[in-house]
Structures are given as structure tokens and as C-alpha cells.
């Protein structure tokens, strides 16, 4: 029998690809080659399985964040890579995933969305404070306010109604939005690092 972790991982992949509503417990059981009865013994209802999948997604994000911090040369690179990670994740998820989560699993959605938003904003705020300590970001920058602004900016970037993909390049939007924002809160020292980073990675 497939392990619980494997079931959650495979189900999360299905949810991201197809949305949540269309991925029935029958489909999951068939995809995993197991009986629906066994699946229900592990997860009595779909809400439980959705919650487990979101927990996995949050844990994977935390691990990726730690990897970014470990490999970054400076906090500005950490900041940029963190934002890029979030946008890439959103691009890989079917819009129905978030729609279905909110409409058909409201309690889970409310709980996990709040947890996700809080974690991301805390990370951004922490990065800004680190940048201020390193004299790369201005001392007068309010990290809490800017963390919320950046979070909402990232959500706007991946909104296809505002930036239809056939008209706008995702990488171009990211470049314009992220570098403009970070430059706005940076010191002269920080601006020098940003310019060097941009020249080094502009063709990536």
C-alpha cells in the first residue's frame, strides 16, 4: 500500500493540475491504484485530505526558503529569489485550485490562507530588517507595511486579467516590479549591489 506521505504528495499534484473539485476521492484512489475504502480509512473526508495537502505545500515552501537563504550571497539576492519562487509556484498551479479551495472548502481555505499569508509576510519583513541591519535598505522603511505591499504586488503580477500572458512576459513583469520596488527601499550601498546583480543575471 502507498504511504500516507506519497498519497498526499500525489494528490497535491493532481489538485495543482486539475483543481480540487474535479479530483474526486474515486479518481485519487484510481490514480494511486488503491481502494477507495482504504483511502477513506486514512482520510475520512476530502477536507482532511485537502488540509494535509496544504500542510505539505507549506512545508515545501519553508524548505525552499531555507535553501534560498543558504545559497544567497546577500539579502538582496535572497529577497529577489524568494519573490521569484512565489511567482513560479503560482504559475504552476491551475487557477481552479484556489477558486475551488475557497468555494468548496471554506474553513480549510480560511485557516491555511491566513497561515500562508502570515508566513510569507513575516519572511519578507524579516528580510527587510536584515537588509536594514546590513545598511542595504533604508532605516526609515517600515518592514511591516512594505511586506504587505510586496505580497499584494506579487499577487497582482500573476493575475492574468491584469497582465494577460499573450501580451505580457511574466519575467519582464517580475523584473520591472521587483527591481523597481527594491530599488525604492535601498540605500546607495544597496543600489550598487542591485545594479551589479541585475547586470549579472539580466540574461538568465
pLDDT of residue 156: 84
Cell of 174: 517580475
Give domain status of residue 46, yes or no: no
DSSP per-residue codes, 99-129: HHHHHH-HHHHHHHHHHHHHHHHHHHHHHHH
CA distance 151 to 48: 28
For the chain, how many structural domains are there in total? 1
Give domain status of residue 48, yes or no: no
* Mean pLDDT (10-residue bins), the chain, 204 residues: 91 97 97 95 97 95 92 90 81 87 94 88 93 96 94 79 82 80 95 88 68
Give domain status of residue 70, yes or no: yes
Q: Residue 183 belongs to a domain with what CATH number?
A: 1.10.357.10
Structural contact between residues 141 and 185, judged by C-beta atoms closer than 8 angstroms: yes
Which residues touch 189 (CB under 8 Å, ≥6 apart)?
135, 136
Give domain status of residue 84, yes or no: yes
Q: Which domain holds residue 75?
A: 58-201
CA distance 44 to 100: 19
pLDDT of residue 126: 93
Give domain status of residue 127, yes or no: yes
Amino acid at each position: 500500500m502507498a504511504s500516507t506521505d506519497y498519497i498526499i504528495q500525489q494528490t497535491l499534484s493532481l489538485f495543482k493540475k486539475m483543481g480540487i473539485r474535479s479530483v474526486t476521492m474515486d479518481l485519487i484512489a484510481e490514480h494511486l491504484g488503491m481502494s477507495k475504502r482504504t483511502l477513506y480509512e486514512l482520510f475520512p473526508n476530502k477536507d482532511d485530505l485537502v488540509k494535509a495537502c496544504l500542510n505539505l505545500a507549506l512545508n515545501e515552501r519553508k524548505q525552499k526558503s531555507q535553501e534560498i537563504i543558504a545559497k544567497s550571497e546577500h539579502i538582496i539576492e535572497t529577497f529577489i529569489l524568494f519573490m521569484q519562487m512565489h511567482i513560479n509556484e503560482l504559475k504552476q498551479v491551475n487557477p481552479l485550485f484556489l477558486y475551488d479551495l475557497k468555494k468548496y472548502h471554506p474553513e480549510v481555505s480560511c485557516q491555511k490562507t491566513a497561515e500562508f499569508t502570515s508566513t510569507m509576510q513575516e519572511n519578507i519583513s524579516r528580510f527587510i530588517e536584515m537588509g536594514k541591519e546590513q545598511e542595504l535598505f533604508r532605516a526609515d522603511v517600515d518592514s511591516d507595511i512594505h511586506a504587505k505591499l510586496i505580497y499584494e504586488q506579487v499577487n497582482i503580477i500573476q493575475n492574468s486579467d491584469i497582465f494577460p500572458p499573450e501580451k505580457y512576459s511574466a519575467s519582464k513583469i517580475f523584473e520591472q516590479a521587483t527591481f523597481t520596488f527594491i530599488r525604492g527601499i535601498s540605500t546607495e550601498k544597496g543600489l550598487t549591489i542591485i545594479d551589479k546583480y541585475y547586470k549579472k543575471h539580466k540574461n538568465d
